[in-house]
Chain A
Amino acid sequence: MASPPDSDAALIARALVQDDRHAFAELVRRHQSSVRACLRKLTAGNHALADDLAQETFVLAWRHLKSFRQEARFSTWLYRIATNCWLADARKRKEELLGDAGGDGDDEAMAAALGEATPDHARGSALKMDLERAMAALSEGERAAIVQCYHNDLSHEEAAYVLGMPIGTVKTHILRGKQKLKLALAAWAPQP
């Protein structure tokens, strides 16, 4: 009979106490899909960038494993590192682009999303595409809050931990994000 798989806590203990890299590799294998998928959402579908950030996330997790206090689930802790990596990268890119592009990038992106949302596509995949485009036009905080609460299925408390912000701010980001999505996807709204 096969033995039950080790828990995350047991693998973390082995990685910490015995410097067991096989245990850490098992943790990476176990969580790579959710972390990469989360980053794909945050990077608006940029798979290469998402994988680079996911790799950075796990390397940082290995380096700071000692500081993981089990106050949250290991996956939640990974989401926190991944979100911080993404935010740092997004800020760096924004700074690089600042000299080139004038005006408010968010507003321009949202305007593009508004203009391109049409109900003429095949409904299912088209709505998905428009939703992705509209998500990409949200502010970093709004997008991150929606990704954590909807895509990663975290509670507001867990999302607040991941994003390092008060619960009230998370709720505000979600409300504002949904308002913007509603505007951007107005063409998809059911007719009264």
Chain B
Amino acid sequence: MTADTSPDPREPDDWVEQALRREAREHRDEYLDDAGFTARVMAALPAAMEIVPRWRRPAVAAIWVAAAAGMALALPGVALDVGREAFRLLATHPLSLPQVGVTLAALGVGTWVAAAWTLQRD
């Protein structure tokens, strides 16, 4: 902005003011017909998200817990044997620090991918 265009509030500019006000009044009085505009906007909105009932998640979790408990009860000793064998395998197998690191990283990545996939689906 140059010094030439700097405002001088003392300078009367009523006729510009009047022209702007007159034009603005006409503009405000003018109503633009919708002519399908609202329909176009509504069609452009993102798709509605599926509303998940509040009871669904606890119900799904409860079903999984019940299924796991049912299996443990139906096959007594199996869970204990699997756990014991897994512990023995880990305890007897010599693991280096990098192997532990890689295993933990793989578990982390797997968990993250599963969580991201689940959130994306929701």
Contacts and interface: CB of A to CB of B under 8 A. Distances in A.
B16 A181 contact: yes
Contacts of B42: 21, 24-25, 28
A161 interface: no
B41 A55 contact: yes
A32 B32 CA distance: 8
Given A36-B32, A37-B30, A185 B7 contact: no
Interface of A: 19, 21, 24-25, 28-29, 32-33, 36-37, 41, 51, 54-55, 58-59, 62-63, 127-128, 131, 146, 150-151, 153, 172, 175-176, 178-183, 185, 188-190
Nearest to B44: A59
Given A24-B45, A131-B20, A131-B23, 18 more contacts: A28-B37, A28-B38, A28-B41, A29-B34, A32-B32, A33-B32, A36-B37, A41-B27, A51-B37, A127-B19, A131-B19, A153-B28, A175-B7, A176-B5, A176-B6, A178-B20, A188-B15, A189-B15
| A interface secondary structure, majority | helix
16 contacts: A24-B45, A25-B42, A55-B37, A55-B44, A59-B46, A131-B19, A151-B23, A151-B27, A151-B28, A176-B5, A176-B6, A178-B7, A179-B5, A179-B7, A181-B16, A185-B16
B9 interface: yes
Contacts of A25: 38, 41-42
A153 B45 CA distance: 29
B48 interface: yes
Given A19-B49, A178-B13, A189-B15, A32 B28 contact: no
Q: Shortest 7 CB-CB distances between A and B: which pairs?
A: A175-B7, A33-B32, A150-B24, A58-B41, A28-B38, A151-B24, A150-B20
Given A33-B31, A37-B30, A55 B21 contact: no
Q: How many B residues touch the partner, as a band?
A: 20 to 34
Interface in B36-85: 37-38, 40-42, 44-46, 48-49, 51
Nearest to B27: A151
Interface string B1-13: 1000111110001
B17 interface: yes
A41 B26 CA distance: 13
Contacts of B26: 128
Contacts of A55: 37, 40-41, 44
Contacts of B28: 151, 153
Nearest to A172: B7
A153 B20 CA distance: 11
A59 B44 CA distance: 7
Nearest to B32: A33
A175 to B, nearest CB: 4
